[in-house]
Structure 1
Amino acid sequence: MKSIYKTLINIIIVSATLTACTDVIDVDVPTAAARLVVEASIDWEKGTDGSQQTILLSTTTPYFAENKNEPVTGATVKITDNTNNETFTFTDNNDGSYTTNGFIPQLEATYSLEVIHNNEVYTATETMTKGVDIASVYQSKEGGFDDEHLEVNISFQDPEDETNYYLIRYIEEGDLFPELEVDNDEFSNGNLKKDFFEKEDDEDINRKPFIPGDKVYISLYGISERYHNYMAILIEQSEVAGDPFSAIPAALKGNVINTTNPKNQALGYFRLTQVSKAVYTFN
């Protein structure tokens, strides 16, 4: 009886101790001032006139904020063709998107972006980079990391006697985020290049291998060297998330410059690319 009584006393003491450890502790998390985020991807799809273009503006939010996207409205957005001084003004749709139906793309032409927000002027300059056609799209189980999983393969011809940089985007129908890759022709100039996309089984993120009937949207962009380097770092930072031995990700500086207040730089990039697209359904 004494043993049972002593055991009950110990349980009460332990329970009281654990309960005392459940006090809520408020921690002040430092937050930085909101910064402008510019998503200015001017993509000229092959087979279209490239006249319809959209630029997205938002501001950064605190990490624990419920709303992860704060659209920017009331800004002034325009792009100028520096060759003939033609200006294309983008319409504010009051949801963070700014659009135009009159853009005129020209390969190898240089364009300047200007965004005016909160009385500060942001600018960027980039060249419209030509792309190549996707020569073929097919499925196999031979080119990936697991010979039991389906993968989609593409091939494209790299032009001779010039340096080329590429961005390849894959996204399965229904997925929220795409798979991005960058490539160049440093060791394959003038050759037929190949690439593949395979999904490995990962229960932690609910990722499953491809099965017949799955549909994948593929985009092959011709990009500038500077944008290639920017995306290479961005992809590397996204892939090491959760790795305790990786370098700490840092804010990646794009090509958008705040000419009014250099200390308040924007995030994002102004790119102009020509893109070839394809859709593949596994069988």
Structure 2
Amino acid sequence: MKIYFKSLIILFTIIFTSCTDVIDVDVPTSEPRLVIEATIEWEKGTTGNEQLIKLSTSVPYFSSTTNNIVTGASVKITNDADDTEFVFIDQNDGNYINSSFIPVLNEAYTLEVINDGETYIAHETFVPVVDIAEITQTREDGFDSDVLEVNVLFDDPEDEENFYFLKFQKEGDILPELFDISDEFTNGNQMTIFYEREEDEDINQEEFEVGDVVDIEFYGVSEPFYNYIRLLIEQYESVGDPFSTTPVALRGNCTNPSNPDYYAFGYFRLTEVVKANYTFE
């Protein structure tokens, strides 16, 4: 009996071993690119003089590399109207800081980054944002009438084209929820943006409850950035959808004039922002 049992073990071992094939998949890779995180934010009620730009390099999807910061680069922003230059000082950790930046709404600025002999340029206008008129909570404006949602109300200016970007983040969450908004069909009206959370065990998400706190950031943005972030949000939300289109690398506005194919990832934007938080009652 012991011999028979031992023989079965050997037989199954042979079967499973012979049926196991090692498949090597060649994952496409590309040369690392510079990644420029240049979001210049002017929070209402502050001077806006403290600004930060982050530089890093792209890494392959399956890479375990964590030290991809870029140091030793030259970084500056110029106000195109009066040629005032704001030099960002290397902190030797991928961060570049300027403590004397002067934000001027509706004026054009140019970003210049020089790294490894390559010069990257980006142009953008400092975009203002209206105030938040009111923040409320209801159960009526969302997809589920039994679920709490937070509502942000604001008055869109008349006779001008506006684009907005909102971040909602429940305190304790790792990532925010992003919204891109255009006033194409609501120009000059009061607009309401709601954010609700439905229970989802797959991502460990629960509905809002009394006492939950939501941090809100409300930005005015340019049309090019609106188009960029809209595509980025669409790609993010389609992850796991077998019927979605294949994601592609999104090009921001950081160009390389002398070597156009070697552009940088990331985006240079200047935006006024209103920050608030809401506690559910």
Q: Tell me which interval the TM-score lies in, with the shorter structure as reference length.
A: over 0.9
Structure 1 equivalent of residue 86 of structure 2 = 88
**Equivalences for residues 129-278 of structure 1 within 5 A:** 129-278=127-276
Identity %: 52
Distance in 2 (CA, whole Å) between partners of 1:259 and 1:22 is 51
Of residues 88, 95, 98, the one that matches 2:96 is: 98
**Equivalences for residues 20-99 of structure 1 within 5 A:** 20-22=18-20, 25-68=23-66, 70-99=68-97
Structure-1-length-normalised TM-score: 0.93
* Cα deviation code 1:82-115 (max 9, x no counterpart): 0000000001111111111111111110000000
RMSD: 2.0
Whichever residue aligns with residue 55 of structure 1, its letter is I
Partner SS state of residue 258, structure 2: coil
Residues 69 and 192 (structure 1 numbering): CA distance in 2 closer, same or farther, change over 3 Å?
Answer: farther
Whichever residue aligns with residue 66 of structure 1, its letter is S
Partner SS state of residue 70, structure 1: coil
Q: Contact between 1:222 and 1:275, CA under 8 Å: does it hold in 2?
A: yes
Partner SS state of residue 230, structure 2: helix
* Cα deviation code 1:26-67 (max 9, x no counterpart): 544332110011111111111111111111111111111113
Distance in 2 (CA, whole Å) between partners of 1:21 and 1:93 is 55
Distance in 1 (CA, whole Å) between partners of 2:196 and 2:13 is 51
**How far did residue 14 of structure 1 move?**
3.1
* Cα deviation code 1:164-213 (max 9, x no counterpart): 11001111112121111111111111111001111121112111111222
Structure 2 equivalent of residue 124 of structure 1 = 122
Distance in 2 (CA, whole Å) between partners of 1:220 and 1:29 is 39
Structure-2-length-normalised TM-score: 0.94
Partner SS state of residue 186, structure 1: coil
Partner SS state of residue 127, structure 2: coil
**How far did residue 25 of structure 1 move?**
5.0
Whichever residue aligns with residue 257 of structure 2, its letter is T
Which stretch of structure 1 is more off in the superposition, 4-13 or 27-36? 4-13
Partner SS state of residue 229, structure 2: helix
Whichever residue aligns with residue 230 of structure 2, its letter is A
Partner SS state of residue 232, structure 1: helix
Whichever residue aligns with residue 234 of structure 1, its letter is L
Distance in 2 (CA, whole Å) between partners of 1:272 and 1:69 is 28
* Cα deviation code 1:192-242 (max 9, x no counterpart): 100111112111211111122221110111111111111111111111111
Distance in 2 (CA, whole Å) between partners of 1:27 and 1:187 is 48
Distance in 2 (CA, whole Å) between partners of 1:12 and 1:101 is 72
Residues 67 and 282 (structure 1 numbering): CA distance in 2 closer, same or farther, change over 3 Å?
Answer: farther
Whichever residue aligns with residue 61 of structure 2, its letter is Y
Distance in 1 (CA, whole Å) between partners of 2:169 and 2:69 is 24
User: How many pairs are equivalent?
Assistant: 281
Q: What are structure 1's unaligned runs of at least 5 residues?
A: none
Residues 194 and 68 (structure 1 numbering): CA distance in 2 closer, same or farther, change over 3 Å?
Answer: farther
Whichever residue aligns with residue 114 of structure 2, its letter is I
**How far did residue 277 of structure 1 move?**
1.2
Q: What are structure 2's unaligned runs of at least 5 residues?
A: none
Which stretch of structure 1 is more off in the superposition, 67-76 or 273-282? 67-76
Which stretch of structure 1 is more off in the superposition, 188-197 or 19-28? 19-28
